[in-house]
Structure 1
Amino acid sequence: MKPEHIPHTDLRENINYVDNDVYAVQIVHSGGEDIDLKAIEIILNVNGEQLLPYNTSNFEVQNPDGTFRIKNSDGTFKVDNSEGPDYINNDFSLGDCIVIYTTEDTITVKGKEIDLKRWDDIDMFFIDKPSQQAIQRAVLQKGAGEFPEWITPYPYGSVYDNSSETDNWLPTELVDGIDDELFTNSSIKPDRWISENYTFGISEYDLGTSDSLTNVSLMIVYNSHDNSLKNMTLSIYNGSAWTMIAYNMEEKVREDDDPVIYYITDLVKNTTQLENLVVSFSAIGHASETSGKVDWVDFVGIHVEL
């Protein structure tokens, strides 16, 4: 049986606020294939709890010119002042915007009404119903919550590995814990630079202050041995300049060595620099083409004191 086609569509999300209330979620078609509106299901996950799905029965569709389509009782959409009084346009196309008004009795799966607030954690899943596949998953908003001792790229940052031949963007969970059997793998090639870049998705809102920071520390747990890498380098970018903080780093076998901690407060002095922080771990391959050797990073984290 031929599998269902999964649309390749680019989406852009936005949240509108009224005071501290989440008033509306907007999802804009920004490129790629058209999608039948009846094939769309949107799931919001709020503070770990999944809301009832949104579909043509409870979202609105705004045209690129700012007008809204008229919704028929059967879930189809009619375009006013178009080719005729009964002109149906059920396509979600470039420039169209799906609008979810979250102030209108949002119901959870437990049957209770909730009001979405500016400080809630909100994830969105944009589902193609025929294939039951998520076209896009996005973090719409993250609450302040309790600040962790170590901030890692998971879940709001990113991990980019230039050595991958398939997907350079790696799951952030790989560097979220020490000795959790999850880690990145960088393929080592002779005389080739390999690097991984990490961002952390930290915002001034998370910290609750825009003041200067008293301590910012960086921890990295990695493994490299057998002289398969040379010139191991750790650098950071603070929004204005790259700075190398370690060069010719020693080889590490995680099980035998303590984590490496670097104090970077002199380079990351305030929340603006922390918001823009990028950490880069790089080296030159020093193994044969057929060795199949890899190095890996188990953990990358930032410790912040206000």
Structure 2
Amino acid sequence: MKVYVTQEMVCTNNFLIFVYIVTFLPIQLVICHGNIYVDDGGPKDWPNKYPQCGGNRQSPINLPSICDALRINNYGNFRRSKTFTKKPNNVKVSVTDHGVEIKPTYEYGEQVTITGGPLQDTYVLEQIHFHWGSNNSVGSEHTIKSKVYALETHAVHYNFKYGSFKNAINQSDGLLVIAYVYYPQWITKSKSWNLLTKQFVYMSDTNTTESDITGFPALTDILPPFDSNYYTYSGSLTTPPCSESVTWIVSGKPVPISTVRLRALRGLYGIQPGAINNFRPVQPLNGRLITVKINEAEYILKCIFGRIL
């Protein structure tokens, strides 16, 4: 007889039952991991352990309608490195205590960089990660007009002049996060998400927390480039230590994602409890300025005629 021990049994108070099973029966053991969104009171208690989490420039926030924010149209276009349109040699996928992280690597140690727009410096891509919920009504960290989305992607960058993420994290201009929110749709096309979905299912089935993907497409597939219709504001990391060193750029155009891909993400809960409902609630704005760039034609169509109609 083989008994399957769940994380709930191991990680809660059923210790005597667990000891009995370990002593007398063969088992398939599930590893117990932490969950920063539940352990020690979750996000509301982070400031007790990480003081910056109680600061005045915390993220995420509720964003206004792009028609109601302060428009600044003199931002130039973003300038992205050629690696942004180049296929990576490898993509490492890691399931952590706060979700899933992917990290592309390129030959000759090439980096993915971005500058321009509201940015004064060049920023280097460090990693990409995701926030999602147990159902389609929750998941995103940022909200738009108080609307919650099913998923949010963060592309985390550090300022090139500091040399590394570690050196940049405590600098006021140290980090950049480019974010996208997603809404569920029955069918969507994306080679990146096809590969990730298969990998998530494989990792769930094999209880694996790290794996590699080869043949991943250029990052333009998973991080659609834009030069307009976005928000920017000064904020923080949304996980401890909540460093207030982030320039946020949030796309104002929600992206569709299929329900199959969302289910694959949710399936990772079986190997890591932090891999579901891994979102921080919105934080107070505390007088911060949110600006948007939206070109004139988009503004007229969406914000003038759209409201009239």
- Classify the TM-score, shorter chain: under 0.3
Larger CA Rg, structure 1 vs 2: 1
TM-score w.r.t. the length of structure 1 is: 0.22
TM-score w.r.t. the length of structure 2 is: 0.22
